[in-house]
Chain A
Amino acid sequence: MSVGYAAAGWNRQKKIYDWLIVGFCVLYLLTFVILTASFNPDYTFETVLIRSTSTLAVLLLHIILSIGPLTRLNKKFLPLLYNRRHLGVTMFCIAAVHGIFSMLQFHTLGNVNPFVSLFTSNTNFNSVASFPFQSLGFFALVILFLMAITSHDFWLHNLSPKVWKTLHMFVYLAYFLIVMHVMLGVIQYETHPVFVIVISLGAGWLIALHLIAGTKEVKKDNQKFNATADDFVYVSETSEFEEGRAKIFCVDKERIAIYKHENKVYAIHNVCKHQGGPLGEGKIIDGCITCPWHGYQYLPHNGQSPPPFTERVSTYDVRVYEGKAWLNPKPCADGTERPGAMIN
């Protein structure tokens, strides 16, 4: 979190993750090159580079798309979510190397503009086996490029969170284009079934993971709460709260996070003002509720970011009676101070 814009929001944790990402990518590429040199010594450097970067980019994309639902299923994966943006930009850079070298290799040897060659060298749009698969990869790369260059808070604030999030949801279209780029490209001549099995397992894993996590969220959203005469609803036993952590309840179509902090419970709106991150899935660090996505912080008793930051979220009234927590789902104005409720 910063007052102004910095080139990238690095801290010690992010630096460690970034080094792990770089180490993994270098290790993967080296392994690929060494194995290829051992088993297929006739392959040219360009071919090895194109193939190694393509497989690495696809692998990273699968990891990136797995992180969101994994964190919803198990909080242990939250640190991965915290650094997902850097992983995404890394994946784009590797995919770009694949794209650039493919263009050099296949479309710069003639006297036709490489981009014209890309779209005119194969126009078999009515054939599945000979479909111009390279154009699918090109469009996927364009989407990844737009996502990569806007992966900064500057763009989030200037495009607005809604536009920014919509743009970044195009990653699912990019994923579909990449799967079809692989299936209509390399699979058509590398006919060993292992390639189809691997790409099918990857797609199956992502589909299953997202559907399981999505269904779990729907169940949470559809949970029924009965209001009392003074509009409070019973939500949970206080013994179920963990110090410094929250439980999330969806009341009247709004998600509310109830945090336990220093023997009191506080309720705030679950959606982070930065990028819509789930505040209830974070934890209290230095006395502040900390968003698991990008570390934005809010004070539990008033939903305000500590000075000099200005973000504010809604707060809610909460009561504790005979070991039971009760919540008033009517939101107070953003940043309104609420005293919380003493547990004992």
Chain B
Amino acid sequence: MIKSLRKRHLQIWILSAIILPVGITVAWMAVPKKVTQELLQKVARASTYHTIASVEKGDYKINILAPNSVTTEHPTGWEYELKVEFINKKESATDSLLLYKIIDLTDNNIDKQELLGRIKSKGTQEFRLKFFDLRVTNHKFDYRDKFLLYNIMKKQVVDSINFNR
């Protein structure tokens, strides 16, 4: 190596000695604090939503959340904004999983069902429901939708979740 090249190498590493530790430290400090977030999520959710139906499987749990107060009143009744809360208990076990709501029970084509979204790694995710089968009688909720967990890489249904009991 010629002298100018050696000098340039040294300058680059002096610069790296500054920016690499700064970059690593800044990124590390920005890592979300999980516990704090979960607490905030629960408090925030508890103040506006409550669980009206729930199914628990080995690695995950699905809650159907309804607002504590109805959002819109129509001549035909109350309109609710429901959400699906998917709680994944295992770390990154489901990288390729998609959550579908079954629209047509008789159709095996997954594209005919309603795609709610992708299941990410361990944690809680929420998906808004546009349409749902909910009956309310004497302030009691009867939720009847069915869901599918679909592995997009393997092209196969992994699990079905049935709220109609």
Contacts and interface: CB of A to CB of B under 8 A. Distances in A.
A40 interface: yes
Given A128-B26, A184-B27, A196-B28, A44 B96 contact: yes
A165 interface: yes
A189 interface: yes
Contact of A129 (B6, B31, B94): B31
Interface of A is mostly: helix
Interface stretch (B15-23, B41-49, B67-75): B15-23
A43 interface: yes
Contacts of B40: none
B23 A46 contact: no
B13 A214 contact: yes
A73 interface: no
Contact of B3 (A43, A175, A196, A255): A255
Contact of B152 (A109, A183, A203, A250): A109
Which of B16, B17, B23 is the most central at the interface, judged by chain A CB atoms within 10 Å of its CB?
Answer: B16
Contacts of B77: none
Nearest to A48: B95
Given A40-B91, A169-B8, A188-B32, A210 B27 contact: no
Contact of A210 (B9, B19, B93): B9
A203 B153 contact: no
Interface string B138-165: 0000000000000111100000000000
A139 interface: no
A105 interface: yes
Contact of B19 (A176, A184, A189, A221): A176
Given A47-B95, A271-B2, A276-B2, 15 more contacts: A40-B91, A40-B92, A42-B93, A44-B151, A172-B13, A183-B23, A189-B121, A196-B24, A203-B16, A203-B20, A207-B20, A211-B14, A253-B3, A276-B1, A276-B5
7 closest A-B pairs by CB: A183-B27, A42-B93, A214-B10, A128-B30, A210-B13, A129-B30, A47-B95
Interface of A: 40, 42-47, 68, 105, 109, 128-129, 165, 169, 172, 175-176, 179-180, 183-184, 187-189, 191, 196, 199-200, 203-204, 206-207, 210-211, 214-215, 217-218, 221, 250, 253-255, 271, 276-278
